Amino acid sequence: MNAAITEILPAEAVSAPVLAADLARRHVADIVVSLNEYEAAFVAAVLLELPRALAADVLDQPELSRMAAILKAMPLDRAVGLIEEMSADRAADLFRYDLSEPERHRFVAKLDAATKAELVCLLAYPEHSAGAIMTTEFVSVPDDWTVARTLEHVRTVERSRETVYAIYVVDPEIGTLRQAVSLRRLIAAEPGAPVGSAAARREPVSVSPLTDREEVARLIAKYNLLAVPVVDEKQCVLGIVTVDDVIDAMIAETTEDVHKLGGMEALGLPYREIGFFSMIHKRAGWLSVLLLGEMLTASVLQHYEGALEKAIVLTLFIPLIMSSGGNSGSQATSLIIRALALRELAPGDWWRVALRELPTGVTLGAILGAIGFVRVVLWQKLGFYDYGEHWLLVAATVGAALLGIVTFGSLTGSMLPFVMTRLGFDPASASAPFVATLVDVSGLAIYFSIASLILSGTLL
């Protein structure tokens, strides 16, 4: 009942202590959903009423919006206390993305030495790398410990670790990673046996701090892991990336990819939170570039102006033919982008894809060409429109142009993600609008070349 009440009460009607008392009984994810509805200053007041560990847990949720504004609305020492309590990877996000210069300095000056040192380490890793999303709160034990001693250790540190389901067995002298033991195997193992006896005999899967988060996600999904250790060149464990960080990263990557596929910069913020001018900025850039590219179509048409004047009937089919090229290109691009992301295809497979897309494109083009041909013939025969005495040649031109352009579109669309990868861009930048623009310009040239071939001596 109470939960329902707070959800519908406006900020003015509920005091921070009352809301805090009600929220304290709910799941942290639900607390975040509630708090996102209130102003930052009020959220700050509520957080200060919550038990400190829970408040830090709320701040740890990536779904909480306006984290920086909330912390800025608190007395400095309380905010700093919460930052010290937060998980290190989230605190690093705060400093990396949310705080701008004067505040960053104000907070850093007050942080304790341990938190500061940890932040410096995490912030040194590039954005979206395993190092940047890892947590340093994991369990590792020397390999001369027994199963019982390890379990006892897990019991003591359970509260302070992000996960205890994967335990890393390290060399007692030099600290290098030897084995990974799952908690489930550990509790099923003989208490007196060495901890390593519960480990799989295989070498543990690990990543470098520079590994991209997409690759980390791929490994976790492939090996069904709950966490993957991040090790340095000497194989010492620096931290771990847990499956829930990876799920968050996967969701963020998918959002980025969908935005890019739509022909814009990734927003980086929820739709309802992004400001008007940031939104314009993210969208106008690509739209303008595409417009400039598309201006080439005007130049191509200028070049064929003579043909257009003689055979105005050709104009009627320009949009239809152009868009079919764009559509077949955007199909092929999405297919290949996804296959590359899933590693079903490697960058070196471009020639396999070309060999496959060529017959596919020809077949699709033949189908569309036939439809286009029939359309012209039908309209002529049914008397919807008179394409002139050479109507059969016009129909043949439309059909042949569709065949050519769909083939060209499928090939171009499928090769573009490979070209992007080769140039060091994200293949998802080969968006549908980008492919369509590319194909439009060359599509017009194909259309008019075919027209002058078929219609020369009659219409042209």
- Residue 355 exposed, middle or buried by CB count within 10 Å (0-12, 13-18, 19+): exposed
**Per-residue x/- track, 324-343, its own copies (CB under 8 A):** x-xxx-xxxxxxxxxx--x-
Whether 412 contacts 419, CB under 8 Å: no
Cα 184 to Cα 163: distance, rounded to the nearest angstrom: 13
Q: Does 355 bind its own copies (CB under 8 A)?
A: no
Residue the block writes with tokens 């639900």: 30
Cα 136 to Cα 244: distance, rounded to the nearest angstrom: 15
Sheet holding 177-182, edge to edge: 139-142, 166-170, 177-182
* CA dihedral over 334, 338, 339, 340, signed as positive or negative: positive
Q: Does 275 bind its own copies (CB under 8 A)?
A: no
Q: Which of 2, 254, 449, 458 contacts its own copies by CB under 8 A?
A: 254
Q: Which of residues 149-178 bind its own copies (CB under 8 A)?
A: 151, 154-155, 158-159, 163-165
**Per-residue x/- track, 435-454, its own copies (CB under 8 A):** -xx--x---x----------
CB count within 10 Å of CB 139 equals 21
- Part of the chain binding its own copies (CB under 8 A), chosen from 95-103, 168-176, 208-216, 432-440: 432-440
Q: Does 188 bind its own copies (CB under 8 A)?
A: yes
- H or E stretch at 103: helix 101-110
Q: Does 250 bind its own copies (CB under 8 A)?
A: yes
Strands 177-182 and 227-231, bridge-based pairing: unpaired
Which tokens sit at 182? 């799952």
Strands 139-142 and 177-182, bridge-based pairing: unpaired
**Per-residue x/- track, 38-77, its own copies (CB under 8 A):** -------------------------x--------------
Q: Which of 126, 192, 268, 270 contacts its own copies by CB under 8 A?
A: 270
Which tokens sit at 38? 């209130």
Is the CB of 15 or the CB of 34 nearer to its own copies?
A: 34
Is the CB of 163 or the CB of 452 nearer to its own copies?
A: 163
Q: Which of 279, 354, 358, 445 contacts its own copies by CB under 8 A?
A: 279
Is the CB of 209 or the CB of 372 nearer to its own copies?
A: 372
Q: Does 381 bind its own copies (CB under 8 A)?
A: no
Size of the site for its own copies (CB under 8 A): 115
